[in-house]
Amino acid sequence: MTTIPRITDSHCHLDFPDFAGELIDVVARARTAGVHRMVTICTRLKHEPQVRAIAEKHDGVFYAAGTHPMSAAEEPMATVGELVALAGHPKFVGVGETGLDYHYTAESAEVQQQSLRIHIAAARETGLPLIIHARAADEDMARILTEEYRNGAYSCVMHCYSSGQELARAALDLGFYLSMSGIAAFPKSQELRDIFAAAPVDRILVETDAPYLAPPPHRGRRNEPAYTAHTAKVGAEVFGLSYAEFASRTEANFERLFTKAAAAAKAA
């Protein structure tokens, strides 16, 4: 009997209404596909109790919380203390997602930058990885991440990486990780695949960002954690590895970055 390699969906949104009433089946399908672990992300802190409850209910599901940059101007500004307090939960494994998005919400750039720096401070204090959303803000993103790193080291993943080569290089130079989403599997994403191919394989994670960005052959439909496997197969091709080897490498990467999730798995 062939064993399916195990992988982790490092970023999904299981609290979104797209999954209402289906979570037991969604998690079961993920496990059937080899996706044994998921990190579900809270994007507005007022929703943290619901996201936490999902993680508490399902084995292998962890969570992170923060204020999404596109919501930064609409939500109360998070505090470092608030984020640090949330990190006390055993299944809280990352800070964010936070970041900068000037594509739709450039008018709130100043507020986004303030929020980002608060989340960085919380990541630094807790020792948990920062989860970054970056879109159409490469220069400011590279500058702030670098400035803040000089103020004190912290760990970070550039979630759903789809920005340019320069930001990728800046992130990698700081020791950060790049996460491959379904975008990397789109036929027209060769330039993005080239950016990943130039990165060390020991700095790569995989994710869905479900319910968004379903990879082929599900593109255009709702994404779900099981489909991480489709992106991981493309990742294996990008790095010239077998699927089993790529899965093993990305698992090791996830556990190196998300140390709290790794420790929980070993204790189980």
**So where are the chain's domains?**
7-240+253-267
* Residue 94 bridge partners (DSSP): 64
What is the average pLDDT across 54-67?
Answer: 98
- Predicted local confidence at residue 267, as pLDDT: 72
Six-digit token string for 84? 């640090």
148-172 pLDDT, tens per residue? Answer: 999 999 999 999 999 999 999 999 9
Rounded distance between C-alpha atoms, residue 250 and residue 180, angstroms: 10
CA 84 to chain centre: 19
Six-digit token string for 203? 């700095």
Q: How far are the Cα atoms of 34, 53, 218 from residue 222, in angstroms, in the given order?
A: 19, 22, 8
* Residue 37 bridge partners (DSSP): 8
Kindly give the interhelix angle for 138-151 and 165-173, rounded to the nearest 10 degrees: 10
What is the average pLDDT across 249-253?
Answer: 98
- Predicted local confidence at residue 1, as pLDDT: 52
Residue pair 235/7 in contact (Cβ under 8 Å)? The answer is no
171-193 pLDDT, tens per residue? Answer: 999 999 999 999 999 999 999 99
Give 157's contacts (C-beta < 8 A, 6+ positions apart): 10, 94, 129, 130, 131, 132, 176, 177, 178, 179, 205, 257
If you search the block for the tokens 């059937």, which residue do you land on?
32
Collapse the DSSP code of 85 into the 3-class scheme (helix H, G, I; strand E, B; otherwise coil) and give the result.
helix
Label residue 266 by pLDDT band (50, 70, 90): confident
96-116 pLDDT, tens per residue? Answer: 999 999 999 999 999 999 999
pTM value is 0.97
Rounded distance between C-alpha atoms, residue 110 and residue 122, angstroms: 19
CATH of 7-240+253-267 among 3.30.70.360, 3.20.20.70, 3.40.50.2300, 3.20.20.140: 3.20.20.140
- Predicted local confidence at residue 265, as pLDDT: 74
What is the average pLDDT across 46-60?
Answer: 98
In the predicted model, is pLDDT for residue 239 greater than 80? Answer: yes
